[in-house]
Structure 1
Amino acid sequence: MTRLFAAASPGREFLPPALLAFQEGLQRRQWTVQWGVHGETLVELDGLTAARIWVVWTAEGVRLVDLTILPEFRRRGLARRLVSGLCDAADAAGAPFALSMHTDNPVAHRLYESLGFTPGGDPGRGSPGYVAMARAPRGYARASTPATSHDAGRLP
């Protein structure tokens, strides 16, 4: 897990392992308090951990809290498959889909725009360097019962 945390931001891989583990633990506790315990999913390819995705389903919609792919698994379409599947699930539920991303990540920005996300809203991170993006549901009527936090991390 610490390796995924290090891969999330350039430069973290050079930090001492104990500091990385400490920071990853703090982030996990913060997100668990803020978003709940059911949103985190590890993604495996060929039996190896390739990515972490943290998704929260609420009455207000879907929130992509984090998507980190290890460097050796990048540029294979994994992020597109994961986010596209979540878009389909959000559409089926009639739920809007929101996320925040680093402003200096043009690859992610192109991916999210290609899936119909547009800039807008509050990035919710409390620090500069993030942009909020949102996507309205497409082609489905809103479900009569909204998704709950227990649905977090489930892909169709």
Structure 2
Amino acid sequence: MAVTDQLQQAQTDRKRSIIYPALNVFNREDMTARCQDETAPKVIYAVKADATFNSNTAIFLKDDIRTGKLNLLYDEYKGRETLCDIPKFFELKIEEQVRLIDPYIQTSLLVREMVELSYSNEKGLIKVFEKSGNRKDRYTALSYANYYANQLEI
């Protein structure tokens, strides 16, 4: 809830002199009521990430990738190759080239992260965990987004 509480308040980026407005939750009244700014747009999908939820996200993600319902971008090498085949790509500023290549790099990092994950089945629930020193941030973001996409289909 700490992250949501922060997002439900205006945030100031002093370095860039930008004020980001408060955001609110749209799917859980208990969390929506915590926002002090009544004008905050309701754009946050809040979850209670307990063992059952995490198991469901893991199952949905595995099934959706396996069945081809969810396709990832090419890896960074194939992505670079594809972009380099576009003649005007090299006419772009270096910053724009990097911006276009980055999603493929992030996909490669995601796949590497997912390959390094381990899982166990505890009392019928799938538990996904990272090896010591590794991360699962990209996996978690993808699995939660995929779970939400599945909920929209229902």
Q: Same fold (TM over 0.5)?
A: no
Structure with the largest fraction of strand: 1
Structure whose CA Rg is larger: 2
Q: Greater relative contact order (Cα 8 A, min sep 6): structure 1 or 2? A: 1
TM superposition score normalised by structure 2: 0.26
Structure showing the higher helix proportion among its residues:
2
**TM-score normalised per structure 1:** 0.26
